[in-house]
Amino acid sequence: MDGLSYALTALTTPTIVLSAAGGVLWGILGGALPGLSPSIAMALVLPFTFDMSPLAAIIMLTSVYIGAEYGGSIPAILIRTPGTNAAAATVIDGYTLHQQGRGGEALGLSLVAGTIAGLVGLICLVFLTKPLAMVALYFTPPAYFALAFLGLSIIAALSEGSLIKGLIMGVIGLMLAMVGTDPLSGAPRFTFGEPDLLGGIDYIFVMLGVFAVAELMNKVATPDDGAGGVIKNTVTRMRLPGLRKMWELRRAQTIGTGLGIIEGPIPGAGGTVAAFLSYNEAKRWSKTPEKFGHGSEEGVVAPEAANNAVTSSALIPTLSFGIPGSNSMAILLGGLLIHGIQPGPMLLSNRPDLVYGLFGGLFMANIFMLILGMLVLTPCIWLVNRPKPYLTACIMMVVLSGIYSINQSLFDFWIVLVAGVVGYVMRRLEFPVLPLILGIVLGYMIESSYRRSLLLTNGDHIVFLQNPLSLGLLCCAALIIGLAAYAEVRKARKPQDMHG
């Protein structure tokens, strides 16, 4: 009961309510700006929290994180540019729905799915902190390798009809991830003597190139249809889904929320892997899998539920062990330490006011996300319905400004422009670009965990089969690849059977 009273105190303290509202609004805007990741949005707000009470400061930082993870879906749906890494999976069906004039519906679905997932994730944070924290401890290098391999196996589902093309793009993504300093020995690889490449190629640049710049290239190449480039028959308002609609989409919502909660506590996995896994699983369990990639509502709900559920469960290792699983959590950890709060197993018993107050603040932040999202989305839809020349110029400037704000390096611009050309060419040749993103995102994790595992056993690959978690994940990956290959063979045989 003490916990509930701490949470209620937080819910009724005006400064804390304002911190949550301000944090969510800032987060949504930060997440919606491509290049401004949730961690950068949090870092920008960190100096303003120095004079706040510890609880208000922590609630503001977590609210920014929640808002930013949601905000990434807005440009993903409206302009085919994921604002955050985790929103990359939302592009597939979200943008297609927008092209079909259903952008308002897609935004409403992502908002409601994200809010529900965030609240369910919060309940899990309250009740499952201890057991989920233990799951994170079981993740040794072989299990990380198996998790990354499972992530890569989704390429089979993202290949849009040609498994070979999907695999090629996945391999190219992994090749790009090899650029930079070797994670174990520190040897430079494929840097061509360029110091800017020593840190590797940040995947946000590749994403901005293959999604945003390639889309803009496509826009300027397309002759004007007389409508000024405005999508016809589009709604100009955000549409919230009704209860019946959400009930119809319950399967995708459950899959996304569940996978998000499980992935959140695993350091390094994060919302991106959770979103892609959820998309794949939602497609597998859907009654209408053929709609995926062509404007499926489930294709929006599952990844959005996943990356918003992660925002709650990612707090588990940070609060329980002081282990930040992502850049955003490292900023939060910094905020905790600045205010003299030492995270760890004793945090709940030493500072119950702070922990339960935080739970209350997170509840508020999710509610504010729904309210502020409703207020922000309609102007966003209005903005993207402006005539094509204005819109193209504004998006190009947002992308270019966002790139520079990451590292303040002119070299990064060239990476994005080259990625844009590659994305445009690949799109024309019907090569799927999502496997490329998945390859870059998982490249570091798959290589470093694979080599670390072999270091532990002097090169014996049996280590991947001895660890039960690793074995289970590898079996899941084998199943996904096997089913995709079977489907490909069946599809190839069908026309022959028909002719025969």
Partner 1 sequence: MRATFIVSCLLFLLAVAYWLGADQISVSRLAGGVGADGMPKLLAVALGVLSLALATQTFFQMRAGKLAAPADPVKEGDEPTNWHQHARAMGLIVLGGFYILLLPHLGYMLSSMLMLGGVSFYAGLKPSLRMLVFAVIGGVVYYLIFTRILGIPLPSGFWPRLF
CA distance 59 to 313: 15
**Residue 216 lies near partner 1 (rule: CB under 8 A):** yes
3-state secondary structure of 139: coil
Q: Which of 101, 199, 345, 389 binds partner 1 (CB under 8 A)?
A: 389
Contacts 24+ apart (CB under 8 A), 97-101: 97/295, 97/297, 97/300, 98/231, 98/234, 98/384, 99/231, 99/295, 100/295, 101/231, 101/232, 101/233, 101/234, 101/235
3-state secondary structure of 189: strand
**Residue 182 lies near partner 1 (rule: CB under 8 A):** yes
**Residue 161 lies near partner 1 (rule: CB under 8 A):** yes
**Residue 171 lies near partner 1 (rule: CB under 8 A):** yes
List the beta bridge partners of residue 180.
189
Least distance (Å) from partner 1 to the CB of residue 329?
A: 22
Q: Which of 101, 390, 465, 468 binds partner 1 (CB under 8 A)?
A: 390
Closer residue to partner 1 in complex, CB, 13/448: 448
Least distance (Å) from partner 1 to the CB of residue 119?
A: 30
**Residue 167 lies near partner 1 (rule: CB under 8 A):** yes
**Residue 224 lies near partner 1 (rule: CB under 8 A):** yes
**Residue 420 lies near partner 1 (rule: CB under 8 A):** yes
**Residue 233 lies near partner 1 (rule: CB under 8 A):** no
Least distance (Å) from partner 1 to the CB of residue 210?
A: 13
Closer residue to partner 1 in complex, CB, 40/355: 40
Closer residue to partner 1 in complex, CB, 170/241: 170
The residue type found at 441 is: V
CA distance 148 to 310: 17
**Residue 487 lies near partner 1 (rule: CB under 8 A):** no
Q: Which of 18, 337, 393, 485 binds partner 1 (CB under 8 A)?
A: 393
Report 74-103 residues binding partner 1 (CB under 8 A).
92, 95-96, 99
Structure tokens belonging to residue 56: 């208000």
**Residue 383 lies near partner 1 (rule: CB under 8 A):** no
Report 459-478 residues binding partner 1 (CB under 8 A).
459
Whether the CB-CB separation of 484 and 166 falls below 8 Å is answered with: no
Q: Which of 15, 18, 189, 485 binds partner 1 (CB under 8 A)?
A: 189
- Phi and psi torsions of 426, nearest 5°: -65, -35
Report 281-340 residues binding partner 1 (CB under 8 A).
293-295
**Residue 430 lies near partner 1 (rule: CB under 8 A):** yes
Structure tokens belonging to residue 392: 């193209």
CA distance 187 to 290: 45
CA distance 356 to 444: 36
Q: Which of 138, 247, 382, 414 binds partner 1 (CB under 8 A)?
A: 414
Q: Of all residues in the chain, what percent are helix, strand and coil, respectively (each to 5)?
A: 75, 0, 25
285, 291, 292, 295 alpha-carbon torsion, rounded to 10°: -140
**Residue 401 lies near partner 1 (rule: CB under 8 A):** yes
CA distance 45 to 23: 8
Least distance (Å) from partner 1 to the CB of residue 413?
A: 4
Which bin fits 53, alpha (ψ -120 to 50), beta or left (φ > 0)?
beta
Least distance (Å) from partner 1 to the CB of residue 392?
A: 4
Contact letters for partner 1, residues 339-378 (x by CB under 8 A): ----------------------------------------
**Residue 217 lies near partner 1 (rule: CB under 8 A):** yes
**Residue 50 lies near partner 1 (rule: CB under 8 A):** no
